[in-house]
Amino acid sequence: MAPELSLLSCLQNYLSFLFFSFTTIFFLFSLLLLLLRSRPWCNCHVCKAYLSSSWTAEFANLCDWYTHLLRESPTGTIDIHVLGNTITTNPDNVEYMLKTRFDNFPKGKPFSSLLGDFLGRGIFNVDGESWQFQRKMASLELGSVYARSFAFDIVSTEVRRRLLPLFTTVSERVIDLQDMFRRFAFDNICKISFGLDPGCLEVSLPMSEFAAAFDTASRLSAGRATAVAPAVWKLKRLLNVGSERELRRAIRMVNVLANEVIRQRRKLGFASNLDLLSRFMSSVDDDRYLRDIVISFLLAGRDTVASGLTSFFLLLSKHPEVTAAIRDEIANVMRGSGDDEVASLNQLKEMHYVHAAMYESMRLYPPIQFDSKFCIEDAVLPDGTFVRKGTRVTYHPYAMGRMESIWGPDCEKFKPERWLHDRKFVPQSPFKYSVFQAGLRVCLGKEMALMEMKTVIVSVVRSFDVQVLDGDQPPKFAPGLTASIRGGLSARVRRRSSGEERPGHGAC
């Protein structure tokens, strides 16, 4: 029997070896096909520059290189063949994608795959019924007059009790504005959307570690989209190595925070509360789905507001004449108000120049620099560009804000007056100014975000000088789903005395 068992054992080992070899060869062959389909061999000058990163010799950021290419294009549209990506700044194309043929340009499965581990089935990563359900629920909360009043009370209280005292404490010191605004925005979104003060969360790690994990997850998830061959990051995820291992670790920590938010909301009860999470919890029993919703609204409420405020004060530090105009308007509207009083909602509505300055800042530095869709069926864009089905199509608000064909020869200047007519703010077409998206996916939190930013800007500019250090250098952006400045934004703040005149050149 022994020889027979030995023979049987050898046969089993041989078959196992054959099976393993076949599986390995099949996998490598499949990987080769995926690589070939991505066409990484394209020899056009754009693709070669992308693959070799030679563009970095002239441009600090990928978005600036794209802007350069789009300016040179007669149609304002380019193709990055190795990425299978068509990028456009043409407002007619944007309207075609976001409105005219909305059904043909969804987020798509490829996009959902890129961000699925981080955002899951959250509103920014889904189409169809799931997107419609979340949008309907969110619109009930964000669109009502009561909700906006409720949100303003929270923001104004946070500004008066936390932000302004913190600025006073650090007066004459160097701070990281970006980090400060992220902390402020995080507190606000937790209170407005979840009915929770972050101070009540019983997590074992400090909030700074969760913030770092959130930023890492955003950066690495966005990095997947820059890979020439998606099979590479998918293989790394399968093997749990490199950046994918780091991403998994960051998401695990983010999940701890999201689950704690859900646990606390459930502990406090949600049947009679009108915050966004309570509305969802009354209709959704799946905690994984709730986790995805929490992460999506944290991303929207923290990162975009913080990005908008950071870039605003970066620009304002370079333009003392804009600072002076803002302070004149604040003084006129808030005449008779105390030095530490926060502007009311009605007073904010009267500040047209401040509103114009915010829009102008986001024209040049949009919180979300680009947005992608995937074409379901072959299409021809209004500028004549043919788009094959399965192609990623990206409209680029950052580049659009720098196109002379859209904004004129002074497109790179920070000029709030371009938004004013008879001293009143006048908006532009959302397909020309696509900072808040447009069409059916237009940002639901737009008015709330503008209110939050405006409240902060009026309060800080009225009471403090903010001097950005190295403000003459163009910002370098960190990879991520939202625009953030690599290394933060260092600035020195100084409390202004009552009735103080405008500051000297370079302060705001």
Tell me whether strands 424-425 and 420-421 are parallel, antiparallel or unpaired. Answer: antiparallel
φ, ψ for residue 274, nearest 5 deg: -110, 10
Q: In angstroms, rounded to a whole number, what is the distance separating the alpha carbons of residues 356 and 328?
A: 14
How many C-beta atoms surround the C-beta of residue 60 within 10 A? 14
Q: Is 443 annotated as a binding residue?
A: yes
Spatial contact of 456 and 158, defined as CB atoms under 8 Å apart: no
Q: State the residue for tokens 């070669």.
A: 48
Q: In angstroms, rounded to a whole number, what is the distance separating the alpha carbons of residues 353 and 330?
A: 9
Sign of CA dihedral 435, 426, 329, 501: positive
CA distances from 2 to 15, 135, 430 (A): 20, 69, 81
Structure token pair of residue 28: 């490598």
Spatial contact of 32 and 51, defined as CB atoms under 8 Å apart: no
Structure token pair of residue 447: 């008015």
Question: In what helix (H) or strand (E) does residue 266 lie, and over which residues does it extend?
Answer: helix 242-268
Looking at this protein, which amino acid is placed at residue 208? S
Q: What is the DSSP string of 408-473?
A: -TTTTS--GGGGEETTEE-PPPTTTS-TT--GGG--TTHHHHHHHHHHHHHHHHHHEEEEETTTTS
Spatial contact of 134 and 293, defined as CB atoms under 8 Å apart: yes
The DSSP call for residue 372 is: E
CA distances from 444 to 38, 364, 449 (A): 35, 22, 10
Q: In angstroms, rounded to a whole number, what is the distance separating the alpha carbons of residues 337 and 394?
A: 46
Binding site for heme: what residues are annotated? 443
Please report, in range form, the residues annotated as the binding site. 443
